[in-house]
Structure 1
Amino acid sequence: MSTYRNGGLFLLLSVLWGIAFMAIKAGLEFMPPVLFAAIRYDIAGIIMLGYAVAATEYWRPRTRTDWITVLVGATLVIAFYNAFLFIGEQGMTSGVAAIFVAMNPILATGFSWVFLPNERLTPVAAIGLGLGFVGVGFVASPNLSNLLGTDLIAPGFVLLAAVCVALGSVQVLRFESGISTEGMVAWSNALGAIILHIVSFGLPTESLAQAEFTTGALLAVVYLAIFASAIGYFIYFDLLDRLGAIEINLVSYAAPVFAATSGWVVLGETLSFLTIVGFIVIFAGFVLLKRDRFRNELPSLPQRFGQREGD
């Protein structure tokens, strides 16, 4: 085939994960946030478990370490991340939420310095970490006379979501688990859905009676469960093997473009100038954090993204 496979899949993954923020925002009109997230992963968990069974032999947790890894993923990467993201996105646009989540690679690097003994903090990397938080400040654009006011509640929830998924990703690396990545993600999806249902049931503000299963709600759930989660992870696994961690992290910075675009087209959302500046500053912080890897791998990026089908 004459099309460039890796570049096409990278673009597709960026589109799928970017539009997911718009789908979340649209679906929140019809369902309580945590219940909405739980239903998403009910479906995604079943699909991903089926995929794991078909794709790998070691798909089921067999050891204590396997179960710890799965529980960390289910709790931090799936349940807490999505609960905080869905709650927070009630008060912000799709594009802004995606930009906050783009802090994930920066936060993960920071957590790796704390929890992984081989990681070291250099002065330049510290500047990159600081730039990330400066960018968040631009995106949040708080009212300086009311720093503890309601205008920081939604950004706080979404930033907390990014903290959870970053911390969970680093914690998973601490355990030498034998379960396949597909199996770990599948079980994390399934168990994460159960945790989300428990949290939703315990919240006085949520109940199944509040959910409106309209066409719009069903479309949002189907998109998030099948396209953003199941198909998105299929592509993610494939690209992770072909491209590596640095290139995959770049999805976090491509997704906000499609989140903002789809939010504008479908929901009439806009981004402020300061939000765009903040996004650029966050990305600059990421580049500083990963400057050595970029320096080593940048020359090979066109070749890896441009591998033809069958290479």
Structure 2
Amino acid sequence: MSRSRPAFLFGLLSILWGSAFVAISAGLEHFPPVLFAAFRYDIAGLLMLGYAAYAAENWLPRGRREWYAVAVGAVFLIAGYHAFLFVGQRHTTAAAAAILVSLSPVLTTGFSRVLFPADALSSAGLGGVVLGLLGVAIIAQPDPGDLFATDVVATILVFLAATAFALGSVLVRRIDAPIEIETMEAWSMLGGALVMHGASLAIREPIDPSAWTAPEAIGALAYLACAASAVGFLLYFELLERLGAVEINMVSYVAPIVAAVVGWLYLDEAIEPATAVGFACIATGFLLVKREAIRRAIASVGR
């Protein structure tokens, strides 16, 4: 079981995170988007804080640098990413959203090149970034005569979600705080939820009280908070330790396939040819950007 465990956990995480996009679409039928995302991380943050108190040596961040890392995580990795994603996903399919989010590892490399000059991109790596952005354009299919069409704006918002996550990841790396990942995740979730509650109040999002009695709404919220977030991140922590960062990024490219299948079965969402072509461009861009790391990972498995 020891050898098959990472593969099993990888598959389970892909299912949890891929189907999460479908749960978001289902929940958005009942909850306003930013408030829905805030509720998700109210619950997930408390669950993760409980786990941090159990598993981490220091469950409370210590010092200015650790709190600074938490603040960046809260604003970019949780609030920025999920607010843009949930608002954008109101007018796009679960599969398209998952595909656009899979651009994050490519964008992370681009931001890393800007903030860490030592991480210079080769010509092939730069081509991978451009190819990933081309994939976004193919999915959006903007009409020059109507650049602010609802579906185009939705695609841009989900792209901004991926951008926020990528930038936040690089900024956290730049801070390089000696904080345990469980503690970082727990307090970032709670801080991000607080930021999203503030944003929801600022834009005066209404909530229909009937959402709290709708089984689909409660089921979607529970699944996102408990399964996709709390359990999903625990799986992520273990896989990150067992496999490494490059291999775990591959979840981003399995999750859209899960989202497409579950979205078709549960929400009757069809996959347009342009969406599939865009996914191929983004995935190829990732392979170009990470080709050396992937080669090293394959070589280490062979040894």
1:231 and 2:239 correspond: no
Shift of 1:136: 1.1
Report if aligned partners of 1:201, 1:207 keep a CA contact under 8 Å in 2. Answer: no
Report if aligned partners of 2:28, 2:36 keep a CA contact under 8 Å in 1. Answer: yes
Q: Tell me the SS of whatever aligns to 1:225.
A: helix
The one-letter amino acid paired with 2:228 is A
Q: How does 1:60-99 map to 2 (within 5 A)?
A: 60-99=60-99
Report if aligned partners of 1:48, 1:230 keep a CA contact under 8 Å in 2. Answer: yes
Q: How does 1:292-311 map to 2 (within 5 A)?
A: 292-301=292-301
Shift of 1:2: 7.4
* Structure 2 spans left out of the alignment, 5+ residues: none
TM-score by length of 2: 0.96
Shift of 1:231: 0.2
Match of 1:212 in 2: 211
Match of 1:291 in 2: 291
* Cα distance, 1:247–1:215 mapped onto 2, change above 3 Å: same
Q: How does 1:1-311 map to 2 (within 5 A)?
A: 1=1, 4-204=4-204, 206-209=205-208, 212-213=211-212, 214-301=214-301
Q: Tell me the SS of whatever aligns to 2:211.
A: coil
Shift of 1:121: 1.9
* Cα distance, 1:60–1:266 mapped onto 2, change above 3 Å: same
Distance 1:195 1:207 in 2: 17
TM-score by length of 1: 0.94
The one-letter amino acid paired with 1:202 is A
Shift of 1:302: 7.2
Shift of 1:78: 0.2
Report if aligned partners of 2:92, 2:151 keep a CA contact under 8 Å in 1. Answer: no
Q: Tell me the SS of whatever aligns to 1:178.
A: coil
Distance 2:244 2:116 in 1: 19
Report if aligned partners of 2:34, 2:199 keep a CA contact under 8 Å in 1. Answer: yes
Q: Identity across aligned pairs (percent)?
A: 48
